[in-house]
Structure formats: structure tokens, C-alpha cells
Amino acid sequence: MKNVTRREFGKTVAAAAAVAAAGIALPKFAFGEPLGEARRFPKGFLWGCATASYQVEGGAQEDGRGPSNWDVFSHTPGKTYQGDTGDVADDSYHRYREDIHLAHNLGLQTMRMSISWSRVFPSGTGQVNQKGLDYYNRVVDELLANHITPYITMFHWDLPAALPGGWQNRDTSKAFADYAGYMAKHLGDRVNHFMTTNEFTCFTDLGYKVGQFAPGLKLPDREANQVRHNGILAHGLGVQAIRANTPHGTQVGLAENANVFVPVIETPEHIEAARKATRFGNAPFLTALMEGSYMNEYLEHEGANAPRFEANDFRAIGSPLDFVGLNIYTPTYVRADHSALGFMVEQPPTSYPHMASPWLTIGPECIYWGVRNVCDLWKVPAVYITENGCSSDDVVTPEGRVEDTDRVMYLRNHLTQLHRAVAENYPVKGYFLWSLLDNFEWADGYSKRFGIHYVDFKTQKRIPKLSAEWYREVIAKNEVE
């Protein structure tokens, strides 16, 4: 039950007295009734923040790190906002203690971070760079010393540049499994939660078909579909390798930005349409993992360009997972129709609101439907929100504050909707806010800020934003108001 403050209580009493004096009958609920349940999360629900290696670490050429596709891409003129690169980023390679301290001050129980593959294997395979491994050992130990549980993503888009053909080459999927197995073996004594890959579409389609992300290619569908397949194969082989190298009970999953389909009106037919859309709209990726095969509709849709695969691929790709991590930012609204697929996507009007990044349209119910669609379809044992957050045009006031009320609005509304999923007993175990710090926002460089700590990229000074103060309160109370 929500606590009524003295002041609110006083106001209620005064209002009731005034109404009574005027001889008006009070509606039953107006006085002495609870004002509503607090949106409390279950005991043990994990609150965290997420980051990714290339976006925060910097130290790009230090201690033997090899170049990644994002080093190459960001150093190619015209590829990122004003030619920004991750050479320095948040300099977390040197300042990780300070950053973990920020996390500790928030009361974070967990942190999701990723590993720079080329820091540990400068050529992607073969020779290990001990100094790279040492860095991640130090970070993990520092997190544990601060009572923060590490959740580790093996691949968040920074692919060793030395791997021939990148994700066009099926051997890269095998190289990934070797690397993931190695990391799991060396961290698995202290880390119990691993994610294979982050967001298939971003490192496959956006890199190889759209060309907006590294390596910036615009391949025809037939080749691009093969890149997608190599991506999910890497995940599957990665799951097997992590399990083979860690103690029994280690939890393995992934972080996926599955398309989230929201029924345009909450009626049984539109809910069913959203479910169908979830399957088809994620057919090359999450659906293939969850069902251990490609949907026929997907293969038919791609026709002659459909991905080719080997008989055993889906034994790996369909490996049962301990959890599914969902990165959720935006909704896609759908309605039922009479087409073969049974749904139709609504086109948003030009007036549809968005956060600082134009793609980041606001529809907080996406976090509820994202969880619900996936759980209803595939009965997954556990779900985490592995990313959720937003960009804002943050400025530092003369008093040195960052008043990101729009970010607080975004977060509050999403957590309110996430609470609905929790209240309906969907197995949501934790939430990772993107991001702990402003960082290198890929093709947008440093022009878009997603952190709840402001970073002055000239001085590397960190300032907690209003949203950090707000999140701290959510964590302390384990509820959102």
C-alpha cells in the first residue's frame, strides 16, 4: 500500500471537511481508502545498468589490443558523426574503478558489460593477449568487491578486423565460439551469467546490408541473409562453448533487440496479431533460436535468397537458453487483418513523438508487450530487460546539474509498464538501464547521450544526472511511483 504523506493526508482531510460542510455526499472511495498500490518489484529483482566495450573503453591501441571493425569503420571518413571514434570514448580502460564506484553509488546490484574480443585475441583467433585478459579479470574483481554481479556479453559488435571476411565467413562463427569458450573458462569461476551476442540485426543487416554500421557494406539479399545465418550460428556455437567451459548452473542467454509488436487496441484479435507479428517479424533471429528452425514463411519470403545452412546448424542454434535478454526501446503497432500473415503494421504519423534520437519513438507499453509476446510464444524460463533507456539533449546548468526530466519521464513510464508484466507473473528477473554513462553512440558518435551520468568528453569528468538520482531511489525502494 502506498504511504500517504502527511501533507496529502492533511489536504484530503481538509477537502473532505469542506465537502461535508457543503452537504455534498462523498463518493465511497474518496476518503479512508488506499490511494493505490505502489508498483513494487519482487524481492530479488535485479537492478542494473548496461555498457559495451567499444562504447566506453577507449585504450584502443593499448596493451596489445588488436583493431576491430569499428576502429576501421570509425576511422573511415564520412562513416560516423563528425568522424568520431572510440579511440578514447569514456576512457573506462583506465577509469573503470571510478565507473564502478558510480555504479556502487547508485546501489546497482548488477552490471552488464561486454568484452572486446580483439583485446584478448588481437587477431581474432590464435595468440592470446594476456594483458587483455588481465584487464577483464580486474574489472570483474572490482565489480565483485563492490557487490555488483557481472553479466557479460561476449560480442557487442566490435569484431576483430583481422578475421577474413568478417561475418560473411562461416569460420567467424567458429572463431567466435572458441573465443567465447576461452573467456567463459577464464571468468566462469566468478561470473555466472553470460550473453553470447548483442542485437543480431545491428551487426548483420546494419553492417552488411544497410551499411550504416561497421563494416559499412551494402550486400545483396542473398549474401546478407548468409551473414544473418552466420550470426545466429555464432550464437548457437557460442552457447555450446560457454556451457562446455563453465560449471554446471552457469546461466547462458543473449541480448536481442527483437522487434516488439504492440496490439493497436488491446482486444483478442489484435493481441493475436501482435503474437503472429512477433514470430514473423523476428523470423531470421529470435524465432529461429527459439524454434530451432527457420519459419517456412521466412524461407518462402526470401525465395532464392534464403540462407543456406548445414544439417547440424540448428542443433546449435536451437540450444535451450537459461534466459532471454531483451533490449527494448521502441514499439511497432500492429492490427489484425485478413492477409496471409494475419497482421498489418501501422505506419506512425509524422507527428509521432520521439526522444533525442529520431528513431527512438516513445511507446512505453512496448516493454510490457515485448516480454509478454516472447513469453507467451516460447515459454522462456527467464527474461531480463538487457537494455532500455533513451537519448536526451543534456546540458550542464551553471550550477553543474543535468536536469534530464525527459529521460526520467521515459524511464518512469517504461518501468511502470514493466511492472505490469511482473504483476502478471511473467518471469522478468532484472532490468539493465542503457546506459551508466554517456558514450560512443556508434554512427552517431558523441552527438547522442544515453547515460544517466553525464560525461564531459574533454575532461572525462562524470556528473550524475537527475535520472541517476531518480534511478537510485527506484533501486532503494524496489518500486517505481
Active site residues: 199, 387
- Does position 257 interact with ligand GBH (CB under 6 A)? The reply is yes
298, 285 in Cβ contact below 8 A? no
C-beta of 449: minimal distance to ligand GBH in Å? 10
Given the complex with ligand GBH, which of 179 and 450 has the nearer CB atom?
A: 450
C-beta of 96: minimal distance to ligand GBH in Å? 18
- Does position 327 interact with ligand GBH (CB under 6 A)? The reply is yes
How does 139-173 read in b/e, with b if 16+ C-beta sit within 10 Å? bbebbeeeebbbbbbbbbbbbbbbbeebbbebebb
Cell numbers describing residue 419:
511492472
- Does position 84 interact with ligand GBH (CB under 6 A)? The reply is no
DSSP-derived 3-state class of residue 383 = strand
Given the complex with ligand GBH, which of 183 and 436 has the nearer CB atom?
A: 436
Task: Give the whole-angstrom CA distance, residue 217 versus residue 211.
Answer: 5
Given the complex with ligand GBH, which of 329 and 446 has the nearer CB atom?
A: 329
- Does position 256 interact with ligand GBH (CB under 6 A)? The reply is no
258, 325 in Cβ contact below 8 A? no
Length of the chain in terms of residues written: 481
- Does position 53 interact with ligand GBH (CB under 6 A)? The reply is no
C-beta of 320: minimal distance to ligand GBH in Å? 24
Residue of closest CB approach to ligand GBH: 359
Strand partners, 155: 197
Given the complex with ligand GBH, which of 74 and 129 has the nearer CB atom?
A: 74
The CA distances from residue 89 to 49, 71, 457, in Å, are: 18, 12, 8
Given the complex with ligand GBH, which of 202 and 455 has the nearer CB atom?
A: 202
C-beta of 55: minimal distance to ligand GBH in Å? 6
C-beta of 445: minimal distance to ligand GBH in Å? 11
DSSP-derived 3-state class of residue 107 = coil
Nearest one of 102, 12, 56, 48 to 438, comparing CA atoms: 56
Task: Give the whole-angstrom CA distance, residue 248 versus residue 253.
Answer: 15
For residues 54-83, which are near ligand GBH according to CB under 6 A?
55
Nearest one of 264, 259, 238, 402 to 321, comparing CA atoms: 238
- Does position 52 interact with ligand GBH (CB under 6 A)? The reply is yes
C-beta of 90: minimal distance to ligand GBH in Å? 12
Given the complex with ligand GBH, which of 59 and 207 has the nearer CB atom?
A: 207
Which residues does 456 contact at the CB level (< 8 Å), separation at least 6? Answer: 396, 462, 463
Given the complex with ligand GBH, which of 124 and 207 has the nearer CB atom?
A: 207
For residues 336-395, which are near ligand GBH according to CB under 6 A?
359, 387
| CA end-to-end distance (rounded Å), the chain | 12
CA 197 to chain centre: 11
C-beta of 52: minimal distance to ligand GBH in Å? 5
- Does position 90 interact with ligand GBH (CB under 6 A)? The reply is no
CA 77 to chain centre: 28
Q: Phi and psi for 53 in degrees, rounded to 5?
A: -50, -60
For residues 415-454, which are near ligand GBH according to CB under 6 A?
434, 441, 450
C-beta of 479: minimal distance to ligand GBH in Å? 26
Cell numbers describing residue 339:
492477409
Residues contacting ligand GBH: total by CB under 6 A: 15
Given the complex with ligand GBH, which of 188 and 364 has the nearer CB atom?
A: 364
The CA distances from residue 261 to 67, 102, 126, 286, in Å, are: 37, 35, 42, 14
Task: Give the whole-angstrom CA distance, residue 299 versus residue 305.
Answer: 8
x/- map, 192-231, ligand GBH, by CB under 6 A: ------xx--x---x-----x-------------------
Pairing outcome for strands 193-198 and 149-155: parallel
Q: Phi and psi for 337 in degrees, rounded to 5?
A: -150, -175
Residues making contact with ligand GBH (CB under 6 A): 52, 55, 198-199, 202, 206, 212, 257, 327, 329, 359, 387, 434, 441, 450
